[in-house]
Structure 1
């Protein structure tokens, strides 16, 4: 543990939020003479990206070690100053047990993405140089970090929207395939349409309650809002957040975006951006409009379990037909995020803690999977499962055993093997469905529980098929091009994700003890 004064924590959080934005602007300028290194300007700007994201990660880790676990439910490192007094919009930021793990995970994944880009810069016909890439990556980090740290509804919307432009350009300019521009537009259009509805809902809540402060609204537990207002607000806000989550059937932008995105874009899209939607449901919808959430919870649970089964069946179809491996992982995210949404829909302590745990686990494991798929493509030139499993296929166990073993590890972690991070979140979400919150139909949620359990079996089926086809294929004929195994920088990028996946699986209390006190405050009337 590290002891820091309240002022020091405030300063550290503010600097961590502002540094990526300053770094993005600096990336567009030539490096000063004293900071120039070998490799020319392109390597200088890539080193700049690693340095800035590394500094941000270090600051978030210091915040985490200085965090008072005895007050995990309280907001710490808090800054609250007037910004637009006429509307009571405030520059209000801080972290609690819910937002801190997401903040650290965001900083970690962005640093690993920058480190990966340093050794494997995204290239291709017509792609701009790394200067714009690094600037957009740092701008993206600014929006992601701010989303989890701000405590004002208007600031939340602004941070939520900040990620759109940099992610659009990362997909459209540095992506793969002829459909990358169309995939980027689809991502933006879906998100913008959802955001319009979300903004209307946020304004409705703020104007009717007389404040946009998320802490004050959560403490009021909807007391200043009529039931009708809460229902309308949750419908509008929920639709906007469900697009980003993504909830079936609002998910169709995701497979196209993942398939077209560069490795770094896929890692951050799956690892962080999807969590922004579910985080908004937990931070805003649950405490601010509990009656509205109770009205829609059965529908949210139904859509969640349909997404679990649909995502698994789509993955089974892809692996049997020899489809794209990146598209398969994208569809798997629809299923995994279904467990997160199911946990939120239960409106119980167990379910919401499970949703938060599953979100962190998905970020770590799916981020690792996308890194590994990128490594497979660099070595084989394809992500087509049919080609990887064919006569001249990958056969990773024999040709690149460390890469094959790591891919198998990520797959079994993703299917929820006990002892790894993917297990606990899904278990807690289903436990919440076994005893849903007051006013919710237990027979309906028991049905959801049964369907979700079926989804876990389907998940195991398609992921084990992926391992068999990619890692255990026939050994290529003599004279086939050798596949290099993991390099030193790849160990550096993948190692932290592997270690955290094991740590969270063997010691789940490290996360649950952080989130539960804050969840207790968000759902004060719930005893389960």
Structure 2
């Protein structure tokens, strides 16, 4: 683990020792090199499922794919932000890159932690660089309000989790993930135990987010810079799903009785956010609400405690991380040229940017789960797991998937087809940087179809 963490941390002095003209290229190249080394975490060769074990960190089939996704994201963030940050002074550009590096270090420490308390500390530490990305480099004055929403939602929901973890540390003696599965934790159906269970999961429900506590997400996405939107959609939401899977070990039999209402809320949220997406006029808000819908599926599948549900949840988290991040990149290419995120003002873009229109088509089809993309496999396994839990869930999941197809095609047709608006004159042609950026999102999605077991066969 340190072979990836230490080189990532050493990017900080590299940022300040490199000339400003080369700093973006150097950080991108080194970040890409570090990401290529992180792929060893996808291959599990241990009988205990834990590999690269050190004193405080390790990787297993659950954390390995998410660690790889976190490392893969840093060079993409650098590539996407180069134009946006080109108008800033040299000192601010360096600070921005250092914040991205710190965020990746915190994510590696969070996903690689073998102690639940260390995971909690890193879970909260990711808040600091993310707040900076939203409230400092956002586009509108509303970014300060969005940062406040994000801060208070996260901190308020995390306090009960800290209390529960400290209580369990005192009663069990250890919160090490290596020994937790061998620990006898007896929870009975008392009001106190129910509060413990809810305190454990509240922070993860907000982070995912669950429908009903999701109001911070559209605000944060819409106001954040492109790097903030990408890292929120690709990795930070997945911290919630990862935490849910880990904490379920603490209360495995007890969760069967309490998970039902939250599965129902998550699936209802899938349908409701789909309808909200069909009425959206802001492109980034539409993509943000679609993330709430997809994460609702992940919450439902994890709470069923089915092996298929776990595999489907992990596969969908990886696939959604790549596809939603690509959608935000595509929305940003429109915004940089037109200066607006309103769908009706950016329509007809395929007429002047045909190759970018092709990327839009591929990514939108991936987002709605067209075969043979990885999203389809994740959603298919989740639907089976939730159907096994209750027959009636097929009504909500079926309706939700139809609506997902509807708003995905609505987003593509309204932004790419139609008559070009009269105010759009002399659009700047697409750059190689933008095509490379989208390609680095799409190719992993397509290549993982050949061997999906790399990201979902550890259960």
Please list, as runs of the form range in 1=range in 2, the aligned pairs for 1:69-218 lying within 5 A after superposition: 69=45, 71=47, 74-80=49-55, 92-117=56-81, 119-122=82-85, 129-218=92-181
TM-align CA RMSD: 2.2
> Which residue, 266, 284, 293 being the options, matches 1:304?
266
- Structure 1 residue ranges without an equivalent (≥5): 1-12, 81-91, 390-394, 437-444, 517-528
**Which residue does the alignment assign to 2:372?**
419
Distance apart, 1:55 and its partner CA: 3.7
How far has the Cα of 1:15 moved from its partner?
3.2
Q: In structure 2, what is the Cα distance between the partners aligned to 1:480 and 1:136?
A: 35
Give, in whole Å, the separation in 1 of the partners of 2:76 and 2:260: 38
Number of matched residues? 458
Q: Aligned runs of 1:226-237 on 2, under 5 Å?
A: 228=190, 231-237=194-200
- Do the aligned partners of residues 398 and 506 (structure 1) sit closer, same or farther apart at CA in structure 2, a change above 3 Å counting? farther
State the Cα distance separating 1:488 from its structure 2 match: 1.4
Structure 2: gaps of 5 or more residues = none
Q: Which of 384, 391, 396 in structure 2 is aligned with 1:431?
A: 384
Structure 2 CA distance for aligned equivalents of residues 503 and 230 of structure 1 = 44
2:2 to 6, 10, 14: 14
Check if 1:50 corresponds to 2:3. no
Matched, 1:346 2:312: no
CA displacement, residues 89-120 of structure 1 (integer Å, 9 cap, x when unaligned): xxx21001111111111111122111223x32
- Whole-angstrom distance in 1 between the partners of 2:298 and 2:162: 23
Shift of 1:376: 1.1
Distance 2:194 2:89 in 1: 48
**Deviating 4+ runs (over 4 angstroms):** 123-128, 224-230
CA distance in 1, matches of 2:75, 2:182: 35
Report the secondary structure of 1:174's partner residue.
coil
Does the CA contact (< 8 Å) of 1:231 and 1:293 recur in 2?
Answer: no
Counterpart-to-counterpart distance in 1, 2:363 and 2:59: 30
Taking structure 1 as the reference length, the TM-score comes to 0.82
**Partners of 1:274 and 1:423 in 2: CA distance:** 19
> Deviations for 1:220-246, whole angstroms, at most 9, x for unmatched residues?
3x5355554653332111001111111
Give SS of 2:99's match: helix
| Aligned match of 2:446 | 502
In the alignment, the residues of structure 2 paired with residue 25 and residue 282 of structure 1 have an alpha-carbon distance, to the nearest angstrom, of 36
In the TM superposition, what whole-angstrom CA distance separates every residue of 1:51-71 from its partner, at most 9, and x where no partner exists?
A: 44234313212444xx33464
- Looking at structure 2, the residues matched to 408 and 282 of structure 1 have their Cα atoms a distance apart, in angstroms, of 33
Judging changes above 3 Å, is the alpha-carbon distance between structure 1 residues 124 and 327 closer, same or farther for their aligned structure 2 residues? farther
Label 1:211 to 1:330 Cα distance change in 2 as closer, same or farther (>3 A).
Answer: same
Equivalence for 1:68:
44
Q: C-alpha distance in 2, partners of 1:481/1:507?
A: 45
C-alpha offsets along residues 419-459 of structure 1, whole Å, 9 cap, x if unaligned?
112111111111001212xxxxxxxx322232011000011
Q: CA deviation at 1:126?
A: 9.9
- CA offsets 1:16-46 (integer angstroms, 9 cap, x no match): 224333433654xx42xxx43xxxx3x3443
Aligned-partner Cα distance in 2 for 1:405–1:226: 55
Q: How far has the Cα of 1:192 moved from its partner?
A: 0.8
Aligned positions of 1:113-512 closer than 5 A: 113-117=77-81, 119-122=82-85, 129-220=92-183, 222-223=184-185, 225=187, 228=190, 231-284=194-247, 286-318=248-280, 323-389=281-347, 395-436=348-389, 445-476=390-421, 481-512=425-456
Q: Give yes or no for contact 1:351–1:432 (8 Å, CA) kept in 2.
A: yes
CA distance in 2, matches of 1:78, 1:126: 42
Q: How far apart are the structure 1 equivalents of 2:279 and 2:89? A: 34
